[in-house]
Amino acid sequence: MRDYPLENRSAFSPSVAAGAAINLAPVTGGFVIHVLGDAKSDEAALKQVLAKIAPELGADVRKSAPNQWFWVGDADVSSERLTEIQAGLSNQFALADQTHGRVRMILSGPSSRTVLAKGTMVDLSADQYAIGQSAMTQIGHIGAMITRVEDDSFELIVLRSFAGSLWDELHHMMAEFR
Amino acid sequence: MSSLVKCPHCGLRPREEFTIRGEVATPRPSAGADEAVWFDHVYLRDNPRGEHREYWHHSGGCRRWLVLSRNTLTHETSEVVDASTLKLGGGA
């Protein structure tokens, strides 16, 4: 066990002022929890049970694979609270804290789709990709989950050890719009 | 060549997201089978012209093993299913 609490702080700082044609910003704080369900689990049941046992954390779950989800939110979750939540879930779902293992970042602005199109082939057009929709895919060679969070705003979830590389890559992809 | 694969879980994705493991092998011989039969099973592979079934891993997406039917002449993919469905009676 560690002797002191880890501080969840991003190594990156926002690159451009908000309102620019393109902006990349790290998400500081919050949690990312990998939820693994059994073969019979479904998303509706998961959302329902999360809303019941952890209403303060929201039920923003994103499908990453069959019977697997990433549960994300902006509050901080202590390991004690996580143990409580796990105890409240039936054996149907298992939680794995990924808060320190995955980095969230937001790419926003009118050019965000054009920038992402350089790295991924998932169709992110507004009429194809609804707000709240997400996909586990690759940006270049880096595995990332892309979620449309607002009109022209996408949240990327990437393994922490790849975050620096993706951050640099996105800066190259964004260069023409700045 | 079609470079898009229709993953049953993720939808249309580029071939780059997948790792190809190779042909879906013939059923495993019995433990006491002849050495020649085992040699065939382990080392010898057909190189068919036309329909071919292969294991593909969606390593860049849902990370599921899939079984894909591919035409080796046209590279068209006709049927893609999750490999776990083979256990349920799809046959190997």
Q: How far is A63 from chain B (nearest CA, A)?
A: 9
Per the rule left: phi > 0, alpha: psi between -120 and 50, beta: everything else, B63 is: left
Give the residue-averaged pLDDT of B33-39: 94
How many CB atoms are closer than 10 A to CB B87? Answer: 9
Predicted pLDDT of residue B92: 46
C-alpha–C-alpha distance, residues A153 and A116, integer Å:
11
The overall average pLDDT reported for chain B is 87
Predicted pLDDT of residue A16: 64
Answer whether A138 sits within 8 Å of B16, measured CB to CB: yes
pTM of the model: 0.86
Best A70, A118, A121 residue to mutate vs chain B (most B CBs within 10 Å):
A121
Q: Which residues from chain A sit within 8 angstroms of residue B62, using beta carbons?
A: 64-66, 136
The ipTM, to two decimals, is 0.82
Best A122, A134, A139, A162 residue to mutate vs chain B (most B CBs within 10 Å):
A122
Q: Which residues of chain A, if any, have pLDDT below 50?
A: none
- Higher pLDDT, residue B51 or A20: B51
DSSP state of B15: G
Answer whether B64 sits within 8 Å of A143, measured CB to CB: no
Share of chain B above pLDDT 90, in %: 49
According to DSSP H, which parts of chain B are helical?
35-43, 84-85
The angle at the Cα of B83, spanning B47 to B53, to the nearest 5 degrees, equals 15
Amino acid at A104: R
Mention every residue, 6+ apart, whose C-beta is less than 8 A from residue A121: A137, B13, B14
Q: How far is B24 from chain A (nearest CA, A)?
A: 22
User: Facing residues of B53 across strands?
Assistant: B69
Q: Which residues from chain B sit within 8 angstroms of residue A66, using beta carbons?
A: 9, 62, 64, 82
Model confidence band, residue B1 (pLDDT cutoffs 50, 70, 90): very low
Predicted pLDDT of residue A19: 63
CB A142 within 8 A of CB A162: yes
Answer whether B60 sits within 8 Å of A64, measured CB to CB: no
Predicted pLDDT of residue A178: 80
How many CB atoms are closer than 10 A to CB A135? Answer: 22
Q: How far is A4 from chain B (nearest CA, A)?
A: 35
C-alpha–C-alpha distance, residues A118 and B90, integer Å:
39
Give the residue-averaged pLDDT of B54-58: 94
Q: Which of these ranges, A1-5, A164-168, B17-21, B30-34, has the smallest mean pLDDT?
A: A1-5
